[in-house]
Amino acid sequence: MDTTLQDPLVGQVLDGRYRVDARIAAGGMATVYRALDTRLDRVLALKVMHPSLAADGSFVERFIREAKSVARLDHPNVVQVFDQGTDGSYVYLAMEYIAGCTLRDVLRERGALQPRAALDILEPVLAALGAAHRAGFVHRDMKPENVLIGDDGRVKVADFGLVRAVDTVTSTTGAVLGTVSYLAPEQIEHGTADPRVDVYACGVLLHEMLTGAKPHSGDTPAQVLYRHLHQDVPPPSAAVPGMAYELDELVLTATARNPELRPSDAAALLGEALRARSALDPAQLDAVPPGALAAGSDGHDNAEDRTSVIPRALTVVRPLPVNEAGEVGAGFDGGGENRTSRLESPPVPPAPGRRGGNPRSRRGLVAIVAVVLLVLGVGTGVWYINSGQFTKVPPVLSKTEAQARDQLDDAGLDVGKIEHAYSDTVAKGRVISSDPAPAERIRSHDSVSLTVSDGPETVKVPDLKGQSLADARAKLKEEGLAAGMVTRAFSEDVPKGRVVGTDPDAGTERHGGSAIALTVSRGRAVEVPDVAGSSLQDARGELEDAGLKVKVAERRVASEFDAGRVAAVSPGVGKKVAEGDTVTVTVSKGRKRVEVPDVVGSSAGDARDALEAAGFEVDEDRGFLDLFGGDTVKSQSVKGGEKAPYGSKITIKLG
């Protein structure tokens, strides 16, 4: 059944501009429609807040914050916001329309993805979030539903409805907003959010793409929250034997329960993802996951996939009751049957050709065997040549300088020259590159040079006041910044079409590539004068004296004014327009004829009220009867039901 047929907005035109054609999706806070911008003749997506929420200031504020935040992100992997406005009880965003599907649709249909496909989706998502993090925003609600995949293969991040500025993040005591399956432990426990919560969510998302299932599940949201707090995300190889070690490491690094152990932001995780891809051969990238869950087999409905307001009482997770066998009781959520589920992860079957499923355990086993061989004196010469004389540069990229020094020292290597460079993708104080590069063969006790990030190069916003829009955009590009959303406002001192100001203000430091919002002058504000009833010549003079241009409408209308007089102006009287704008004047073709009320038999007062309400002047004829106080209408000069010119005089005879 097509539910769009029951939607009252379908077929309507919002704000006199956006024609709503079909409903695309509905959520807890808003409904998304496919619409046509009749002014620019382009298809777009219209996100309309539910009218029941429009009276809630916090929801409206969050809605408008989404528009302003995304408008500052000029990035090819972020869904653009074109406009924001209201029409009656409807608050809306006009956004870029992406013909295609969501990542959730792909996972439902296909289940686990090949590593190459998973990375092809993850990398543009991280690029988009990296731009948001560099601009000072945290998404806070990353999940497959918010990853759009266009018919042309483009990947875009949508729904910045829960976005927060990085430098305004505080602990919340009332509730946590988000989707339980993708919440980071610190969001659950403390309500705090910085770029690392998006990193955690992307790690969960990658696990889901590689295995076909979420890493933590439960019969209730509380059980899922408990597992996020108390259980590590298992490596994908636990569900897909043979999964590359580098992909396990990528997931485990992104989903570390301690946020200090995660990459600092999405740009840093993108660097890790690119390095993981470069370490995989084509066979590993294109491996079909034989042990992963197939489409639709994870056994869950989509309740955990919805963005929710989670009470803080629920997010402060209490320990689950555990029996002697180490099983967690389902009764902790107060519900029905005493089902149980293991708190521990299930045993991991060893991968084909491996001695064990845990990469770290394999390394430990190799070390033990090597020590035994050394003690027994077996193969000592080989060990000396391959390990005693040479080693490999450890993975120091994205580590702090102190961590990199410790790793090099542990590997028996010296720290060489330390250089510094700006980086848009690596956080300040972390290693951008090493020479030799990680995993390269090097003699023991040789030195490794490091390049450490000074963070993104910052740029001061230039003073653009008074410049044309084209010149302002060129200047921003020249300074390494981008032009963001353009709004227009009246200005008493800046000519029309020139820049009034920027957001942020001139002189503010921003990362290179940041989008700067521009306010352009509409010119001096002029109030449309009341010229109705004036001659066309007089009206034209008064309007032009006010600094407005005059256009005369071709079609004349009947009005209360005589033929040739001004009947109306558009925009209406008292409206504010910019100096130099055009006002349309409509000329009267004569008084319109209206029906005369029948007042015979009415009192004089009632008759006068009825006739004047219909637009007529009233004259009373009392004659000699006036001496006797007659006050009832005996006749009227124009019979009731007939038509007479609006504003003309009707005589009533009393007696």
Q: Which domain CATH number covers 22?
A: 3.30.200.20
Same domain, 578 and 464: no
Residue 354 located in a structural domain: no
Structure-token pair, residue 382: 């080989």
Cβ atoms of residues 81 and 95 within 8 Å? yes
Cβ atoms of residues 225 and 314 within 8 Å? yes
Structure confidence by residue, pLDDT tens digits, 477-490: 888 888 888 888 89
Same domain, 11 and 69: yes
159: annotated active-site residue: no
- Model confidence at 179, pLDDT cuts 50, 70, 90, reads confident
Same domain, 305 and 214: yes
Residue 639 located in a structural domain: yes
Residue type, 528: V
Flag whether pLDDT at 593 surpasses 50: yes
Max avg pLDDT among 218-222, 380-384, 534-538, 651-655: 534-538
Same domain, 118 and 251: yes
In terms of residue numbers, what domain contains 487? 458-521
Q: What percent of the chain has pLDDT over 70?
A: 79
* Average confidence (pLDDT) over 259-264: 92
* Average confidence (pLDDT) over 434-460: 86
Residue 367, helix vs strand vs coil? helix
Last residue of a domain, one of 65, 95, 125: 95
Residue 341 located in a structural domain: no
Q: What is the DSSP letter of 268?
A: H
Same domain, 153 and 230: yes
Structure-token pair, residue 218: 């439960």
Cβ atoms of residues 523 and 490 within 8 Å? yes
Flag whether pLDDT at 245 surpasses 50: yes
Q: Whose structure tokens read 């090597």?
A: 370
Same domain, 210 and 135: yes
Residue 337 located in a structural domain: no
Name residues whose C-beta falls within 8 Å of residue 298's C-beta, 6 or more positions apart in sequence: 212, 213, 214, 217
Flag whether pLDDT at 314 surpasses 50: no
Q: Whose structure tokens read 């000069």?
A: 637
Q: Are strands 557-559 and 90-95 parallel, antiparallel or unpaired?
A: unpaired
Q: Which of 141, 198, 248, 265 is catalytic?
A: 141
Cβ atoms of residues 342 and 330 within 8 Å? no
Residue 471 located in a structural domain: yes
Q: Whose structure tokens read 């948001």?
A: 132
* Helix runs in 136-194, H state only: 185-190
The string over 146-177, giving b where at least 16 C-beta atoms fall within 10 Å of a residue's C-beta and e elsewhere, is bbbbeeeeebbbbbbbbbbebeebeeeeeebb
Lowest-confidence segment of 213-217, 350-354, 613-617 by average pLDDT: 350-354
Q: What is the DSSP string of 196-261?
A: HHHHHHHHHHHHHHHHSS-S---SSHHHHHHHHHHSPPPPGGGTSTT--HHHHHHHHHHT-SSGGG
Position 177 scores a pLDDT of: 57
Phi, psi of 25 (to 5 degrees): -160, 155
Cβ atoms of residues 601 and 636 within 8 Å? no
Structure confidence by residue, pLDDT tens digits, 467-519: 999 999 999 988 888 888 888 889 989 998 999 999 889 998 887 777 888 99
CATH number at residue 631: 3.30.10.20
Residue 348 located in a structural domain: no
Task: Return the closest-CA partner of residue 127 out of 276, 266, 272.
Answer: 266
Same domain, 503 and 379: no
CB atoms under 10 Å from CB of 334, counted, come to 8
Last residue of a domain, one of 489, 521, 553: 521
Flag whether pLDDT at 176 surpasses 60: no
Alpha-carbon gap, residue 38 to 33, rounded angstroms: 15
Q: What is the DSSP string of 12-39?
A: -EETTTEEEEEEEEE-SSEEEEEEEETT
Alpha-carbon gap, residue 456 to 444, rounded angstroms: 34
Phi, psi of 488 (to 5 degrees): -120, 140
Residue 148 located in a structural domain: yes
Q: What is the DSSP letter of 322?
A: B
Flag whether pLDDT at 54 surpasses 90: no
Task: Return the closest-CA partner of residue 229 out of 213, 245, 218, 240.
Answer: 218
Same domain, 253 and 381: no
Q: Distance of CA 163 to CAs 50, 78, 94, 203, 343, Å?
A: 19, 13, 18, 19, 33
Last residue of a domain, one of 506, 521, 536: 521
Same domain, 135 and 273: yes
The alpha carbon dihedral of 368, 372, 374, 378 has a sign of negative
Position 66 scores a pLDDT of: 65
Alpha-carbon gap, residue 48 to 66, rounded angstroms: 13
CB-side neighbour CA atoms (13 Å) of 574: 0
Alpha-carbon gap, residue 252 to 354, rounded angstroms: 20
Alpha-carbon gap, residue 188 to 226, rounded angstroms: 9
Q: How many domains does the chain have?
A: 6
Flag whether pLDDT at 583 surpasses 90: yes
Structure confidence by residue, pLDDT tens digits, 184-203: 998 888 777 889 999 999 99
Q: Are strands 441-443 and 390-392 parallel, antiparallel or unpaired?
A: antiparallel
Position 626 scores a pLDDT of: 53
C-alpha gyration radius of the chain: 36
Same domain, 175 and 312: yes
Position 306 scores a pLDDT of: 52
Alpha-carbon gap, residue 631 to 322, rounded angstroms: 97
The distance from CA 367 to its chain's CA centroid, rounded to whole angstroms, is 49
Q: Whose structure tokens read 């430091």?
A: 509
pTM, to two decimals: 0.48
Flag whether pLDDT at 466 surpasses 70: yes
Same domain, 112 and 68: no
Q: What is the DSSP letter of 655?
A: -
Task: Return the closest-CA partner of residue 296 out of 117, 100, 110, 147.
Answer: 110
Alpha-carbon gap, residue 373 to 380, rounded angstroms: 7
- Model confidence at 174, pLDDT cuts 50, 70, 90, reads very low
Residue 413's DSSP bridge partners are none
Name residues whose C-beta falls within 8 Å of residue 13's C-beta, 6 or more positions apart in sequence: 19, 20, 38
Alpha-carbon gap, residue 142 to 77, rounded angstroms: 14
Structure-token pair, residue 123: 């990398």
Same domain, 176 and 250: yes
| 41: alpha, beta or left? (left if phi > 0; alpha if psi -120 to 50) | left
Residue 400 located in a structural domain: yes
Position 91 scores a pLDDT of: 87
Name residues whose C-beta falls within 8 Å of residue 335's C-beta, 6 or more positions apart in sequence: 219, 220
Q: Are strands 617-621 and 649-654 parallel, antiparallel or unpaired?
A: parallel
Which element (helix H / strand E) includes 56?
A: none
CB atoms under 10 Å from CB of 3, counted, come to 9
Cβ atoms of residues 415 and 405 within 8 Å? yes
- Model confidence at 135, pLDDT cuts 50, 70, 90, reads confident
The distance from CA 606 to its chain's CA centroid, rounded to whole angstroms, is 62
* Average confidence (pLDDT) over 69-94: 84
End-to-end, the C-alpha distance of the chain in Å comes to 70
Q: Whose structure tokens read 């996951």?
A: 289
Average pLDDT, the chain: 79
Helix, strand, coil tally for the chain in percent (to 5): 30, 25, 40
Structure-token pair, residue 118: 């998973």
| 489: alpha, beta or left? (left if phi > 0; alpha if psi -120 to 50) | beta
Residue type, 616: F
Alpha-carbon gap, residue 119 to 98, rounded angstroms: 21
